[in-house]
Structure 1
Amino acid sequence: MIVCAGKIETFNFATPVGIGMTDVSINLTKLCMEKKPEFLLFVGSAGSYGEKEIFEIIESKTACNIENSFLDGNSYTPIDNVVSSAEDVSRETLVNCSNYITANSRYAKQYLEKNIHLENMEFYAVLKVAQTFGIPAGGVFIVTNFCDENAHEDFKKNHKEAMLKLAAYMNKKNKELRI
């Protein structure tokens, strides 16, 4: 099953499950209870903490849930904030997920120091639901912006082209897999 956030990130090959971790958790759980898929694949946009380039496409099976306040030592969490369906996590691109978008390059540098390269609002929830149901899962992301002071403007400027490139990538992958 291929899923996406929805609203401005929809694809003819994917089922929208909501924006942010809460909506994804609720809606994807409902879908998995109705008919458990063999595999879950999330497709969508991501912000780069600095090393991944605009329009670069990255595949991952590992997400974390770290808030910016944690980087400053102003919060902690009792939850296991990393989830993965990868066999070798050391080779993974870590995708950080929060209901907030990072718009401060200082935080972006701190994430990179922790080997976290991308930011997406939904992927952690997708992997947690998949883990709960025992479903292998992954994600395919296209970079729309850097996580800095221009994050929102760059996202808006690049989003349409990014969605076209991501759809083309997925269509090509689908053709390759059917051969």
Structure 2
Amino acid sequence: MIICAGNSETFDFATPMGVGLLEMTINLTRAALFDKPEFLLFVGSAGSYGEYNIFDIVESKTAANIELAFLSNDAYTPLDNVISTNIDQTKKDVIVNSSNYISTNEELTKKFLKLGIGIENMEFFAVLSVAKEFDIPAGGIFCITNYTNKNAHNDFLKNHEEAKKLLDLHVKRRVEELTKK
């Protein structure tokens, strides 16, 4: 099953499940309870902490839920805040951070890179959390729309349509490759 967030981020090949951590969790859990998919592929946009460039395509099976306050030692959590469906531990995976907020502090978000976290997407941690709970293999494909700086929102708006086109082409190409095997 291929899923996406929804609202302005939809694809003709994907089922919208909700924007942000909560909507995604609720709707994806409902879907898993009533018609458990064999595999989940999330497709969406992402912001780069600096390692990836605008319109880069990034694939991942690992997500984190780390808030900015953690980076400045102003918060902690007793919860597991990194989750992965990557069974090939020999292959380094890009960690996708998820929060209901878009980061705009470029200096602070560079600390994510030191933690091995490369990009952010609002929904991916929820996707992998539900996948793990229901024992569903899962992954994500992302297109970078912005950097995590003061221009994040404007850059996202400016680059979103092109990013969706690139994701559309990439996903359809990957599906074609897999069906040939």
Secondary structure of the residue aligned to 1:79 is: coil
Contact persistence 1:62–1:89 (CA under 8 A): no
Measured after TM superposition, the shift of residue 149 of structure 1 is 1.1
Distance in 2 separating the partners of 1:97 and 1:89: 24
Unaligned runs of 5+ in 1: none
Aligned partner of residue 155 in structure 1, secondary structure = helix
Query: Aligned-pair distance for 1:40?
Result: 0.6
What SS is found at the alignment partner of 1:154?
helix
Which whole-Å CA distance do the structure 2 matches of 1:101 and 1:71 have between them? 15
Distance in 1, Cα, partners of 2:21 & 2:60: 17
Give 1:90-105 correspondences, 5 Å limit. Answer: 91-105=92-106
Structure 2 contact 48–146 (Cα < 8 Å) conserved: yes
Inter-partner Cα distance in structure 2 for 1:83 and 1:67:
15
What's the counterpart of residue 44 of structure 1?
44
How many residues align structurally?
179
1:162 equivalent in structure 2 = 163
Deviation, structure 1 residue 30: 0.4
How many angstroms apart in 2 are the aligned matches of 1:170 and 1:19?
20
Q: Which runs of 5+ in 2 are unaligned?
A: none
In structure 2, distance between residues paired with 1:36 and 1:107: 39
Whole-Å separation in 1 of the counterparts to 2:157 and 2:20:
18
- The alpha-carbon deviation at position 90 of structure 1 amounts to 6.0
Equivalent-residue separation in structure 2 for 1:96 and 1:175 (angstroms): 29
Of 168-177 and 113-122, the range deviating more from structure 2: 168-177
Give structure 1 regions of 4+ aligned residues with deviation exceeding 6 angstroms: none
What is the SS of the residue equivalent to 1:42? strand
Instruction: State percent identity of aligned pairs.
Output: 54
Letter in 1 for 2:36: K
- Residues 104 and 150 in structure 2, CA contact (< 8 A), matched pair in contact too: yes
Distance 1:36 1:65 in 2: 24
Q: How does 1:59-138 map to 2 (within 5 A)?
A: 59-87=59-87, 88=89, 91-138=92-139
Kept in 1, the 8 Å contact 2:68–2:109? The answer is no
CA distance in 1, matches of 2:171, 2:24: 21
2:152 counterpart residue number: 151
Distance in 1 separating the partners of 2:129 and 2:173: 28
Partner of 1:4: 4
Provide the rounded CA distance (Å) in 2 between the counterparts of 1:71 and 1:89. Answer: 28
Which one-letter code corresponds to 2:130 in the other structure? V
Query: Does the residue aligned with 1:91 lie in a helix, a strand or coil?
Result: coil
Per the alignment, in what secondary structure is the counterpart of residue 27 of structure 2?
Answer: helix
CA distance in 2, matches of 1:145, 1:85: 26
Q: Distance in 1 between matches of 2:125 and 2:145?
A: 19
Report the TM-score when normalising by structure 1.
Answer: 0.98
Aligned residue identity for 1:126: V
Do the aligned residues in 1 keep the contact of 2:60 with 2:140 (CA within 8 Å)? yes
1:131 is displaced (CA, Å) by 0.3
The CA RMSD measured in Å over matched residues stands at: 0.9
- What SS does structure 1 have at the residue aligned with 2:153? helix
Over 3 Å counting, the alpha-carbon distance change for 1:89 and 1:7 in structure 2 is farther
TM-superposed CA distance for 1:174, in Å, is 1.2
